[in-house]
Structures are given as structure tokens and as C-alpha cells.
Amino acid sequence: MKYKGLFLFLSGAGIALVLGWVVFPLALYRTEPQPLSFSHKAHTGQPASMSCDSCHEFAEDGRFLGIPVVDQCAVCHAEPVGKTAGEKRLVEEFVKPKREIPWKVYSRQPDNAWFSHTTHVKKGALKCEECHGDHGQSESLRPYQVNRISGYSRDIWGPNISGIPSQPRLDMKMDRCLGCHAEKNMSQGCISCHK
């Protein structure tokens, strides 16, 4: 056979590509369910039309309070709003017993990274969407994927398994921080952002 070598090479390359691009990400990431379904759109859209910082608040001392505590949900959701099963679970399992909802945080950074939302939003005038994309407009929570080796969320590496950043950028790696800092002539020292 004339093309035996070529055929073997192409089929080998094909298998390797499928393994690398399809099987490897499936093996690397484990999908974990969120404890409740949540629609950002229901909160930011009509009629509630809340802004990001109505729930994700900034404290006066410069801290960012992140995902709201269940008491904050209770301001509106002390009793079920609507008749869905999720709503009933929210009130009965979390709001009434005052148990915090164990959300899985897509953008949780490693322990040694320090990031001040206050500095970036108040002083740097960055919009939430610039790093978090259209998360605030999403109808439901997308699956939370965790790296089996590092334990970090897939959002840190970004959706593209090759590590080549997509445009607009969706990853949250250090080179993205550094790129923006270099562009805006902000601090490049390690200790500025590492704790």
C-alpha cells in the first residue's frame, strides 16, 4: 500500500488530537452542581432592576463583601416569592434556619492572590463585566467545573483548554492582571497583589 505511512500518521494524529482536545478536558475537570438555581437576570432585569452592588456590596473600609449572606436574601425572600420548587427550598433550607448557601464561586482565586475589588472598581473605574463577562445577565448558573488536580475553578484557566486567551478574555490568570497593569502603568511588584 502506497499511503500506509501517511494513513498511520494521520490516524495517530487524529487520535492524539481527540484525546488532547476532548478527552483531556473531560478527565481534568469535574462538574459540581450549585446548591440552588439562581437567575441573575431575574434580579438585574425588570421589574427588580437591581445593580451589581445592591447585593455584592463594598464596605466602607475597602473590603468587598462578595457573595451576599443569606440574611441579605431574606430582605426580599423572607417568604417564597413565586411558587417554584427552588424558591421553596431557598426559604425552607436556607433563609429560615439562617444557614449560608454553599455557593461554588466561579472566580475564586488561589489563597496567595490578593485582589481588591474596591481599588479596581472605585479607583480604576473598571466595570464588573470587564472581568466577569455577562454573568450578571445570565438566566441560570452555568455548571461549576473544578480542576481535579489544582482544585481551582475552570474560570481561572478560562474555557479554552489550549490556554490561548479568547477575545474578549474570559480567563482570570496572572498574565491577564499583569497585561492590564502594564498597559495602564500600574504596579508590577509581586507583593502588590500577592499575600
Partner 1 sequence: MEQKNKARYGMVVDLDRCTGCGNCMMACAVENNLAPAEKKANDRTGITWMRVYAMNNGKAFPAAETVFVPMACQQCDKETPCIAVCPQNAVDRDPGSGIVGQVPQRCLGCRYCMTACPYHARYFNWSDPSWPAGMEKALNPDVAPRMRGVAEKCNFCHGRWHAARARAAAQGRSEPDPADYIPACVESCPSRAILFGNLDDAGSEVAKACQEGNCFRFLARLDTESKVYYRSAKPWVREMAEGNRMPSGKDGNLS
Binding site for partner 1 (CB under 8 A): 58-63, 111-112, 114, 116, 118-119, 122-123, 182, 185, 187-192, 194-195
Cell numbers at 21, concatenated = 482536545
Q: Which is closer to partner 1, CB of 145 or CB of 153?
A: 153
Between 4 and 195, CB nearer to partner 1: 195
Q: How many CB atoms lie within 10 A of CB 8?
A: 10
**CB-based burial of residue 146 (10 Å sphere; 0-12 exposed, 13-18 middle, 19+ buried)?**
middle
- The DSSP string of 78-122 is SS-SSS-HHHHHIIIIIITTTPPP-PPPTTPPPTTB---HHIIII
State the minimum distance, in angstroms, from the CB of residue 43 to partner 1.
24
Nearest to partner 1 of 32, 100 (CB atom): 100
Q: How near is the Cβ of 9 to partner 1 at its closest, in Å?
A: 39
Q: Measured from the CB atom, is 58 or 103 closer to partner 1?
A: 58
For residue 131, the minimal CB distance to partner 1 (Å) is 16
CA–CA separation, 36 and 70 (whole Å)? 13
Kindly state the smallest distance separating residue 185's Cβ from partner 1, in Å: 6
